[in-house]
Chain A
Amino acid sequence: MQVFVQLLITGIAMGFIYALVGIEYTLIWNATGLLNFSHDKFILFGAYMFAGTYVLGLGLPPVLAILFAVLTMFLFGIVSAFVIFNPLSKLSTNLFAVIGTVILGRIMIESVRLIWGPLPFTLDNFLRGSIHFGSVVVSKAHLVIIVVCSLITAGLQVFFKTTKTGKAMRCVSENKTAASLMGINVPMNIAFTIGLSAIVCATIGILVIPIFNVELQMSSMIGLKGFASGVIGGFGYLPGAIVGGILLGVVEIFGSMLIPSVYKDCLSFVLLIIFLLVRPSGILGNKR
């Protein structure tokens, strides 16, 4: 029983990470109709910015470092919107913008290599250790992931439902012409959405440091699985990304009890292919 609970918590924690990845690229997809192929590099960048520069480089306390990393990534998102997303998506086909995001990803990962070096490192005292609930042992990192991710998903829902900017973002994702006719500055709004997506990316990057350490490949697998979770839950639909992500996390962790754990990573993609064949619209796909 206690193993079951421990595994469930680990699964849900990883599921929330996938869900956040799903949310992060769905935001950009809804706002621009583009897939951000550099999204895992955004996650990577956030983690390096936090751990490499703000904690180890400048010696800031974690809370302040998180704040700075998130803010830096937000500005980075806005800049990349005006340099890449907005100008390139005006061209005759989406292909230019898609290639633009791929290249942006390459530039980012090579910059990471140049700035912070190719060697992996970690933060020793950041979210380490475990907490005991009776006989159940839960790692601190997983618990923090669950709490923070729930807060972010709930916060985003409130943001989109109640704030003027949030509502304007929904308008832009539904109908850009009509949004501009309401007086919404569409390019600015899109930039803000990409900034928001970058904030979520930075948070993911920071949260997974205790699990994957800080290294160049830390985000590639969660990037892919987060993409899968979006498709499984219902593409382009935020609650879908959450459902898909958590399902994926839980299935993966229990699956690894049944099959050798080297094949653990295959499970999500097998699930993705099954969904693409049987139910391509995803679990919540036809609910919107």
Chain B
Amino acid sequence: MLKVNGIDVYYGKVQALFDVSIEVGDREIVSIIGANGAGKTTLMKSIMGINKPKNGTIEYNGQVISGLPPHKVVSKKIVYIPEGREIFPNMTVQENLEMGAYSVKLSKAEMERHLEEQYEIFPRLKERAKQKAGSMSGGEQQMLAIARGLMSDPELLMLDEPSLGLAPVIVDDMFDVIVRVNKVRNIPIAIVEQNAFMAMSISDRTYVLEVGNLVTHGESKTLMDSDEIKKAYLGG
């Protein structure tokens, strides 16, 4: 479905990604793990068109999408839930959700149905529908970010550090939701995480990034048993 073919990405003169290739197939969950500064977020932003790769291409369903501006990428039904939530703090929870559906044309009834769907998955958001999004806790804001992403019926969902700054109990909930979205909606999910154990245990395949280079990739189960990965990312 999504194919990243050997991209080089620069911030000014500093190269952030070196010849990185990944692939996300139909229905699978793919995790991308690595330490701080490994280039995980850069990779996501390059797919979304926020960063432009200098070399290499990005293909989605056979079409080249590298070089398109972000709003055009979104219109291909690729949704990226950025690191640190990036919700609209001064808008209400419901307005945030409605903006999630900006790229698709929905009638009033359809909008209601989409909102109800999100409220079913995230009941906390329903209680807070009329509240300013910025007044919610970090976990609730993360829920909102995911719900907002789902409003446009994505065909590929990419999550950036969904567990960042959340209490351990909430992290479990979060990953449950991600797996459920993958199963119920039958859409592929790419997930970038520092919490390597969590990400690997819910994903089918894993890519490992180190300072801008792809060092290894494979089935998550196999990788979790490899000594190197255990040592570097899973704490022993």
A174 touches B102 (CB 8 A): no
User: Nearest Cβ in chain B — how far from A178, in angstroms?
Assistant: 4
Which chain A residue shows the least CB distance to B105? A164
Counting contact residues on chain A (CB < 8 A from B), the size range is: 10 to 19
A183 touches B74 (CB 8 A): yes
Of B14-22, B85-93, B183-191, the stretch lying at the interface with chain A is B85-93
For B75, the chain A residues whose CB sits under 8 A away are: 183
Per-residue contact bits, chain B 146-190, to A (CB 8 Å; 1 contact, 0 not): 001000100000000000000000000000000000000000000
Given contacts A164-B102, A167-B95, contact A184 B88 (CB under 8 A): no
Which residues of A89-124 have CB atoms within 8 Å of chain B's CB atoms? none
User: Nearest Cβ in chain A — how far from B144, in angstroms?
Assistant: 11
B103 touches A182 (CB 8 A): yes
Per-residue contact bits, chain A 157-184, to B (CB 8 Å; 1 contact, 0 not): 0000000100110110011011011111
A180 touches B71 (CB 8 A): yes
With A and B bound together, what is the CA distance between A185 and B82 in angstroms? Answer: 18
Instruction: Tell me which of B82, B90, B95, B102 contacts A177 (CB under 8 A).
Output: B82
Instruction: Tell me which of B48, B89, B90, B95 contacts A181 (CB under 8 A).
Output: B48
Chain B CB within 8 A of A288 CB: yes
With A and B bound together, what is the CA distance between A185 and B103 in angstroms? Answer: 10
Given contacts A170-B91, A174-B91, A288-B90, contact A181 B70 (CB under 8 A): yes
Chain B CB within 8 A of A186 CB: yes
B88 touches A186 (CB 8 A): no
Chain A CB within 8 A of B207 CB: no
B86 touches A181 (CB 8 A): yes
Which chain A residue shows the least CB distance to B100? A182
User: Nearest Cβ in chain A — how far from B230, in angstroms?
Assistant: 35
B70 touches A171 (CB 8 A): no
Instruction: Tell me which of A178, A183, A184, A185 contacts B86 (CB under 8 A).
Output: A178
Which residues of B89-137 have CB atoms within 8 Å of chain A's CB atoms? 89-91, 95, 98-100, 102-103
With A and B bound together, what is the CA distance between A125 and B69 in angstroms? Answer: 51
A174 touches B82 (CB 8 A): no
For B211, the chain A residues whose CB sits under 8 A away are: none
Given contacts A167-B95, A167-B98, contact A178 B69 (CB under 8 A): no
Which residues of A167-216 have CB atoms within 8 Å of chain B's CB atoms? 167-168, 170-171, 174-175, 177-178, 180-186
A185 touches B69 (CB 8 A): yes
A180 touches B69 (CB 8 A): yes
User: Nearest Cβ in chain A — how far from B6, in angstroms?
Assistant: 25
A175 touches B71 (CB 8 A): no
Which chain B residue shows the least CB distance to A161? B95
B80 touches A181 (CB 8 A): yes
Given contacts A170-B88, A170-B91, A174-B88, contact A184 B50 (CB under 8 A): no
CB within 8 Å of B: which residues of A?
A: 164, 167-168, 170-171, 174-175, 177-178, 180-186, 288
Beyond A178-B86, A181-B48, A186-B70, 14 extra complex contacts between A and B, CB < 8 Å: A168-B102, A171-B88, A171-B99, A171-B102, A174-B89, A174-B90, A181-B79, A181-B80, A181-B82, A181-B86, A183-B74, A184-B102, A185-B69, A185-B71
10 tightest Cβ-Cβ pairs between the two chains A and B: A183-B103, A183-B74, A180-B70, A178-B86, A174-B88, A182-B102, A185-B71, A183-B71, A183-B102, A182-B99
6 contacts between A and B (CB under 8 A): A171-B102, A181-B48, A181-B86, A182-B152, A183-B74, A186-B71
CB within 8 Å of A: which residues of B?
A: 48, 50, 69-71, 74-75, 79-80, 82, 86-91, 95, 98-100, 102-103, 148, 152
